[in-house]
Amino acid sequence: MKGKYAWTATVGEKGQIVIPKQAREIFDINPGDTLLLLGDVKRGIAIPPKSHFSKFAESIFTEGGEEE
């Protein structure tokens, strides 16, 4: 699907991952950037692009984010 991507990354011994080049280019991730990782035990880990963070964070915390 257009605009949808999936990549894999291997976690190294120090817990580090390498973000694939295509993902870095698409989301304008550069050396020295600080990334925010969002986690939900039911939905997984997300690394939102800088330019979309506010909208993305709002959707994460309003769509079923609360425990019942």
For 3-48, how does the pLDDT look when each residue is reduced to its tens digit (9 = 90+)? 888 998 899 999 999 999 999 999 888 998 888 888 999 999 988 7
Is 5 among the domain residues?
no
Q: CA 5 to CA 16: how far, in whole Å?
A: 21
Q: CA 49 to CA 37: how far, in whole Å?
A: 10
The answer to whether the CB of 42 falls within 8 A of the CB of 56 is no
The answer to whether the CB of 36 falls within 8 A of the CB of 49 is no
How many folded domains does the chain comprise? Answer: 1
pTM attached to this predicted model = 0.63
Is 44 among the domain residues?
yes
pLDDT reported for residue 63: 65
The parent domain of residue 64 ranges over: 33-68
Q: CA 19 to CA 9: how far, in whole Å?
A: 7
